[in-house]
Chains A and B, each alone.
Chain A
Amino acid sequence: MSYVFFPGCSLDGTAKDFHRSTLAVAAKLGLDLPELKDWICCGSTAAHSTDPLLADALPAKSLSNAGGATVAVACAACYSRLKTANHRIAGDPAVRARVARVVGNDYDGLTPVRHLLEILCRDIGLARIAQSIRRPLAGLKVACYYGCLLTRPPEITNFDDAENPTLMDRLMETAGATPLEWPHKTECCGASFSITDASIVLELSNQILAMAQAAGADCIATACPLCQLNLDMRQKDIEARFGRQYNLPVFYFTQLLGLAMGCPADELSLRSLVVEPQEVLAAKGIGC
């Protein structure tokens, strides 16, 4: 299967570490991820809460450039918007016709869209991943946090079990880590309210951090730039607001996988993490 990569806007900014670690892991696996030509922003929540037509047209414009390749996506929000647009365009001729008039060319809604977790776990397969593990993350207890938009709504994303997804858990297990059973895998972190009303994010992300800590996590693994930013960059604010102490590093799953594959720390941008992970990793004898 050939892929083109839709990194999404965050991966060139606040989630630069997600971008670099994704490419580092892909290189170890011989997975070619050329960037989708002239991709534009998916429109995110701003588009779908303003105008449904624009929310379908922005992804359609990018997806119609894929030239038959499967579009690989890292950001959970982009993934959700691209898949939702596909679902609506392929499922309703009237929507398809309106989008065609807006975009200027007819897009059928059939370009396949896959998240990196699906590509790693299902297309490449865990057996192949296991062969590329050089430094297993032995003893590292990871709370795998999926957030909202990978699994919901399941009719559209068709990603994994909507209430208890396990794809990332199985990947972390393959990397030698110990994924934890915990109940907040798919709770909402507050997403872009980080900018418009941070009190929502502090409250919701606090519950996620508290539950991860209660489950005995050494760290959290994420698959979404907004989730990572809220749990990591706002962790100090959350501790201050609620009088808690977490000190929980919040990785992108690609950073942990890259560590297990033996990628050097700078290729994984571990320095970009706000809650520094060195102590936790050193305590488990994981060099970086």
Chain B
Amino acid sequence: MSTAIAATIEIQDLGGLAGDVKARSGASPMSCFQCAKCSSGCPVAARADLKPHEAVRMVQMDQREAVLSSRFIWECTSCQTCSTRCPQQVDPAAMNDALRAMSRAARKVSVGTAVPAFNDIFLATVRRRGRIYEMGLMVRFKLRTRRLFEDIGKAPAMLLKGKLPLVGPRIAGRAGRKAMFRRAAQGGDQ
């Protein structure tokens, strides 16, 4: 990878969305020269409302509203293909992590995505139990999103095959984990 070229093309922080993304994630949207190699390999480019190179371009152009409310940032599977193949070390996958957090903070989350609800339930389970209990996670997610019967037909077979234990793990140290989550939310400053 040509670090030297990337370094010369990277424009100093212009503030705006590109600057925010860089500060949060280390991604370098301003280095992008629109080769679209990311979009060629992206598994969701064909279905999302933006392709990765388009999203990067919109970040460059400070199109905050459009990017933060896009479906694309929530349909990204974090497969890392874009970041692996990018000749400019833009790291669109890290950019999307930053954009998802910013989208939530700005209350711009695309209507219809269930990913933020899933992430919240997932992390609350980790905080409470220390580990993920898949069946409990599924039940909570279904209750929250009211998709009670989706995939319900899979449950009996999964139980029979021993893939859904009825009792979940609980790891000691719950108070310590809660404190850890709280300190992380405060940015680790304290």
**Are the CB atoms of B184 and A13 closer together than 8 Å?**
no
* Cα–Cα, bound, A61→B179 (Å): 13
Contact with B along A26-47 (1 / 0, CB 8 A): 0000000000001111011111
**Does any Cβ of B come within 8 Å of A58's Cβ?**
yes
**Does any Cβ of B come within 8 Å of A239's Cβ?**
no
Contact with B along A153-196 (1 / 0, CB 8 A): 11000000010000000000000000000000011101111011
- Which positions 1-35 of chain A face chain B at CB distance < 8 Å? 9-10, 12-17
Contact with A along B20-61 (1 / 0, CB 8 A): 000011000000000000000001100100000000000000
* Cα–Cα, bound, A203→B42 (Å): 13
**Does any Cβ of A come within 8 Å of B113's Cβ?**
yes
Q: Chain B: which residue is nearest A271 at the CB level?
A: B161
* Cα–Cα, bound, A51→B188 (Å): 11
Contact with A along B60-84 (1 / 0, CB 8 A): 0000000000000001011111011
A54-B184 CB under 8 A given contacts A44-B122, A162-B84, A196-B114? yes
Q: Which residues of B contact A98 (CB under 8 A)?
A: 187-189
**Are the CB atoms of A46 and B122 closer together than 8 Å?**
yes
* Cα–Cα, bound, A198→B151 (Å): 10
**Are the CB atoms of A41 and B180 closer together than 8 Å?**
no
**Are the CB atoms of A153 and B83 closer together than 8 Å?**
yes
- Which positions 151-181 of chain B face chain A at CB distance < 8 Å? 151, 154, 157-158, 161-165, 169, 171-173, 176-177, 179-181
A196-B188 CB under 8 A given contacts A104-B176, A152-B80? no
| Interface residues contributed by chain B, number (CB under 8 Å) | 61
Q: Chain B: which residue is nearest A196 at the CB level?
A: B114
A49-B80 CB under 8 A given contacts A41-B132, A272-B163? no
Q: Which residues of B contact A101 (CB under 8 A)?
A: 183, 188-190
**Are the CB atoms of A40 and B171 closer together than 8 Å?**
yes
Chain A interface residue number, banded: 35 or more
**Are the CB atoms of B180 and A103 closer together than 8 Å?**
yes
**Are the CB atoms of A204 and B123 closer together than 8 Å?**
no
* Cα–Cα, bound, A71→B158 (Å): 30
**Does any Cβ of A come within 8 Å of B115's Cβ?**
yes
Give A208 Cβ to nearest chain B Cβ, in Å.
10
A46-B81 CB under 8 A given contacts A13-B133, A14-B164? no
**Are the CB atoms of A53 and B187 closer together than 8 Å?**
yes
Write the residues of chain A forming the contact surface with B, with a CB cutoff of 8 angstroms: 9-10, 12-17, 38-41, 43-54, 57-58, 61, 97-99, 101-104, 148-149, 151-154, 162, 186-188, 190-193, 195-198, 200, 203-204, 233, 269, 271-274
24 A-B pairs whose Cβ atoms sit less than 8 Å apart in the complex: A9-B134, A14-B163, A38-B130, A40-B177, A41-B130, A46-B126, A48-B97, A49-B78, A49-B100, A54-B123, A54-B184, A61-B180, A97-B188, A104-B176, A104-B179, A148-B79, A149-B80, A153-B84, A196-B114, A200-B44, A200-B47, A269-B162, A271-B161, A272-B162
